[in-house]
Amino acid sequence: MTVTEQRPTDEEHINRIRRRFATVGCAQLADAAPEFVVPLHLPAVPRNGRPRVCGPVFPVATTDDMLPALQALAQTPPGHVLFIHNTVTRSEAIVGDIFLTSAAVQRLGGIVVDGAVRDLTDLAVIDVPVFSTQVTFVSARTTSQRAIDLPQTVEVAGTAVRPGDWLFGDPDGFLLLPADRVGAVFAAGAVLRDREEALKKAMQHDGKTLADLTHLDDFLDGTGDLGFTP
């Protein structure tokens, strides 16, 4: 195989999808392929000014215990998103500045914590997206003493987060996609994005309204269908 024929590495593929995610968001992916998108109802918000995260997910469950999270951090591949599900009080921070610094050195795609983080001032200067549902200055402790099998499948709000599925998060929320559907769903999302841009252009430059573009009057009087046209 020549240099030009070499297949992209996993990390290169992840970075390519991440660049596409900068222009095609969760809402467009969900609208374009609802049959493949799995909404993840997680009230986590960005904690260091980086509002988008995506990558193959590496899940782990913990119980206010640092050891499972530390083991998962050590095993999460570059470009992947570490997903930490704290199953108990969530009143102790699992991730802080030292934890996230290691994630940056390891080139992780991001960290999402169903639980708490801390050290927000220091997290702000670390170039790895971090999301959490809570914040506290109280650090979790290491309470267990055994190795665990990783990655794990965890359940969040009735949704299974499985290793290798792709996790996408932006200001609209989080969703999961099967790894083998990511490319096709993004292609459909890009088509939808272009269509939406054409609709907005028709409104902004041609003075058309949403009622005009959807043929609302024709639909209401029974002479036409309801639908978008630029």
Going by the annotation, the residues of the binding site for Mg(2+) are: 119
In this predicted structure, the answer to whether residue 199 has a pLDDT above a threshold of 70 is: yes
pLDDT tens profile 160-170: 999 999 999 99
Residue 228 has what pLDDT?
Answer: 75
Which band of pLDDT confidence, cut at 50, 70 and 90, is reported for residue 87? Answer: confident
- State the chain's mean pLDDT as an integer: 93
Binding-site residue ranges for substrate: 118
pLDDT in tens, 91-123: 899 999 999 999 999 999 999 999 999 999 999
- Average pLDDT rounded to a whole number, residues 127-150: 95
- Annotated binding site, which residues? 118-119
Handedness of CA 222, 223, 229, 230 (dihedral sign): negative
Q: Which of 114, 117, 138, 136 is nearest to 128 (CA)?
A: 117
CB 106 within 8 A of CB 79: no
Which pLDDT does position 8 carry in this prediction? 54
Q: Contact, 175 vs 37, CB < 8 A?
A: yes
* Token pair of 42 as six digits: 């997680």
Closest C-alpha among 131, 129, 128 to residue 116 = 131
CATH 3.50.50.60 for domain 10-179, yes or no, is no
